[in-house]
């Protein structure tokens, strides 16, 4: 097995060596699933001198048999484990020191008795036969704990944060690493015929996988999308989960990441990726999304800038789906309101109602030209919308033309009499917003857009900045 060691790997290694093994603290390794906590702990265990140390690895899960691996001398023994077997496994009769690593722990009731047994065993350590214990958790927080027990066990925590885009890009610079994971970097390109660079492959997959290294490098994109979509669909209350994050008892841990707050103590736990954020956004009202973002957006912008770009998109779709969206000019005056609408997620042409407008959200990440399309068959009206938090944005006219051509060749085709292209930007950026590049001039002539005049016909409107979010 080949491991890529980001800086957090070495810090977790040092925590296990210094705090747990040498100083005898009870260790708690915390973080979202898919960040590398377990594999790092396994790597650490493999380096111990087995002439001095017995290593016991216990892997637990709510819906699976518990597994135990014992490393003693040159032997490796495995067995399934019941709660009634734990005392026997821990009380191995040997003169060597003993370290126990419990992997997969959460605060679930199913693991409480195991926790009590392990801690009781750990507290009987002495200078002759040292006992060491660490829990490798599948969650970012332990929940409630007893202060007196913290003091008694001299507990210490180590937090493993989600991966940033910068860390992924550093990893795939290594040829061997890239070759071993390239088959999973299969998210669609922005341009269908584009030969993507390594960085573009990672950035495309990042839309889906976000901070989960497991989803980035271990699963193909279609599998990741299905897993996350199913997780969102299984939520009882998407709004509650979005606003409570890791604190919500109904949250599914894999939907959330964790990032270090810059320059201050603590972490922030946003949803794991833009794909998940958008899925939740279409189920929540804008107030719920703003409550969630108010608690974390300013920290996210600084600790992981790649996440900032999709915050406006979250509120855009949440507003459309739940109550409507107010658009403003640079002075903050309302210039238009788009009413509450059904949103269809597809890369094709859906069934178009002859009575009501239909909003379409592309399924693929970043179409290169638009984030949403409004189609009204009754009024023969098509509106393309690009939502951006940037000061500049490319204007690739071929993307708009390509969708209109697809519409004309579909069973839902109709003559387009009104065609709009609207860029929705933060209110504060309206006066200085500009296009970085313009390509495809002349393609929209059949729709009444003269060649060379396209940028003049684009409509710029603002969306109010989220409360508590500082302008960039």
Indicate whether 174 belongs to any domain.
Answer: no
Q: What is residue 144's predicted lDDT score, i.e. its pLDDT?
A: 75
218 pLDDT exceeds 90?
A: yes
Residues 283 and 395 in one domain: no
Q: What is residue 108's predicted lDDT score, i.e. its pLDDT?
A: 80
* Average confidence score pLDDT of the chain: 85
Residues 118 and 228 in one domain: no
Three-class SS of residue 235?
Answer: coil
249 pLDDT exceeds 90?
A: no
State the average pLDDT over residues 325-331. 91
Q: What is residue 288's predicted lDDT score, i.e. its pLDDT?
A: 54
State the average pLDDT over residues 427-438. 91
At residue 36 the predicted structure's pLDDT band, cuts being 50, 70 and 90, is: very high
Domain end among 159, 177, 199: 159
Indicate whether 172 belongs to any domain.
Answer: no
| Residue (of 407, 421, 429) closest to 453 by Cα position | 421
Considering only residues 340 and 386, tell me which one the structure prediction assigns the higher pLDDT: 386
Residues 266 and 375 in one domain: no
Q: What is residue 303's predicted lDDT score, i.e. its pLDDT?
A: 46
105-142 tens-digit pLDDT: 988 878 899 999 999 999 987 666 789 999 999 888 88
54-58, 61-65, 254-258, range with greatest mean pLDDT = 54-58
| Residue (of 428, 466, 148, 161) closest to 310 by Cα position | 466
Q: How far apart are the C-alpha atoms of 171 and 5, rounded to whole Å?
A: 9
Indicate whether 391 belongs to any domain.
Answer: yes
221-225, 237-241, 364-368, range with greatest mean pLDDT = 221-225
User: Which of 108-117, 135-144, 252-261, 404-413 comes out lowest in average pLDDT?
Assistant: 252-261
Q: What is residue 238's predicted lDDT score, i.e. its pLDDT?
A: 55
Indicate whether 468 belongs to any domain.
Answer: no
The pTM of the full predicted model, rounded to 2 decimals, is: 0.80
User: Which of 142-146, 173-177, 249-253, 301-305 comes out lowest in average pLDDT?
Assistant: 301-305
The two structure tokens encoding residue 5: 């060691």
State the average pLDDT over residues 212-221. 96
Considering only residues 179 and 342, tell me which one the structure prediction assigns the higher pLDDT: 179
State the average pLDDT over residues 375-385. 95
Indicate whether 190 belongs to any domain.
Answer: yes
Alpha-carbon torsion, ordered 20, 246, 343, 390, to 10 deg: -70
Residues 6+ apart with CB under 8 A from 35: 8, 160, 161, 162, 163, 211, 212, 213, 214, 258
151-188 tens-digit pLDDT: 999 999 999 999 999 999 999 999 999 999 999 999 87
Residue span of the structural domain in which 217 resides: 185-309
Q: What is residue 290's predicted lDDT score, i.e. its pLDDT?
A: 57
Give me Rg for the CA atoms of the chain.
26
Residues 414 and 272 in one domain: no
Residues 17 and 151 in one domain: yes
Q: How far apart are the C-alpha atoms of 84 and 332, rounded to whole Å?
A: 66
Question: CATH number of the domain that 122 lies in?
Answer: 3.40.50.300
Indicate whether 405 belongs to any domain.
Answer: yes
Percent of the chain surpassing pLDDT 90: 56
Task: Spell out the alpha helix ranges (H) of 82-233.
Answer: 86-90, 112-122, 147-153, 165-171, 175-181, 198-209, 213-217, 221-233
Residues 354 and 399 in one domain: yes
Indicate whether 346 belongs to any domain.
Answer: yes
191 pLDDT exceeds 60?
A: no
Indicate whether 169 belongs to any domain.
Answer: no
Domain end among 124, 159, 194: 159
Alpha-carbon torsion, ordered 19, 24, 28, 34, to 10 deg: 60
Report the number of distinct structural domains present in the chain: 3
Residues 211 and 144 in one domain: no
Domain end among 159, 194, 220: 159
Q: DSSP code of 163?
A: P
């Amino acid at each position: 097995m080949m491991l890529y060691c980001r800086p957090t790997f070495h810090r977790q290694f040092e925590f296990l060596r210094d705090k747990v093994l040498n100083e005898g603290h009870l260790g708690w390794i915390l973080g979202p699933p898919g960040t590398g906590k377990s594999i790092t702990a396994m790597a650490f265990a493999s380096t111990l001198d087995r002439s001095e140390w017995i290593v016991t690895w216990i892997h637990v899960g709510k819906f699976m048999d518990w597994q135990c691996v014992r490393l003693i001398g040159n032997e490796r023994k495995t067995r399934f484990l019941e709660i009634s077997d734990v005392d026997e496994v821990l009380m191995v009769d040997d003169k060597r020191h003993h370290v126990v690593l419990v992997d997969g722990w959460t605060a679930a009731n199913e693991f409480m008795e195991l926790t009590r047994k392990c801690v009781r065993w750990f507290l009987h350590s002495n200078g002759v036969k040292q006992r060491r214990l660490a829990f490798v958790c599948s969650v970012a927080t332990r929940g409630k704990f007893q202060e007196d027990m913290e003091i008694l066990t001299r507990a210490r925590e180590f937090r493993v944060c989600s991966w940033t885009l910068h860390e992924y890009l550093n990893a795939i610079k290594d040829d061997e690493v890239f070759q071993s994971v390239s088959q999973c970097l299969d998210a669609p390109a922005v341009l269908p015929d584009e030969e993507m660079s390594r960085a573009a492959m990672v950035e495309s997959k990042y839309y889906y996988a976000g901070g989960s290294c497991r989803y980035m490098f271990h699963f193909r994109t279609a599998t990741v999308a299905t897993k996350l979509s199913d997780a969102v669909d299984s939520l009882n209350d998407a709004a509650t989960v979005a606003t409570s994050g890791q604190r919500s008892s109904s949250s599914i841990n894999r939907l959330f990441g964790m990032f270090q707050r810059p320059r201050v103590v603590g972490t922030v736990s946003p949803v794991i990726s833009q794909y998940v954020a958008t899925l939740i956004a279409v189920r929540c009202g804008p107030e719920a999304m703003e409550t969630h973002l108010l608690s974390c957006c300013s920290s996210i912008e600084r600790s992981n800038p790649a996440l900032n770009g999709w915050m406006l998109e979250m509120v855009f779709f949440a507003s459309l789906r739940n109550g409507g969206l107010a658009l403003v000019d640079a002075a903050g005056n309302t210039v238009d309101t788009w009413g509450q609408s059904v949103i269809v997620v597809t890369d094709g042409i859906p069934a178009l109602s002859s009575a009501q407008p239909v909003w379409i959200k592309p399924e693929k990440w970043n179409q290169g030209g638009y984030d949403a399309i409004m189609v009204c068959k009754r009024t023969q009206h098509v509106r393309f919308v690009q939502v951006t938090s940037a000061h500049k944005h490319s204007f690739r006219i071929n993307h708009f033309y390509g969708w209109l051509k697809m519409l004309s060749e579909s069973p839902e085709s109709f003559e387009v009499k009104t065609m709009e292209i609207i860029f929705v930007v933060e209110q504060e950026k309206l006066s200085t917003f500009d296009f970085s590049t313009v390509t495809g001039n002349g393609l929209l002539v059949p729709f009444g857009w003269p060649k060379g005049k396209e940028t003049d016909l684009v409509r710029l409107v603002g969306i109010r900045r989220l409360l508590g979010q500082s302008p960039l």
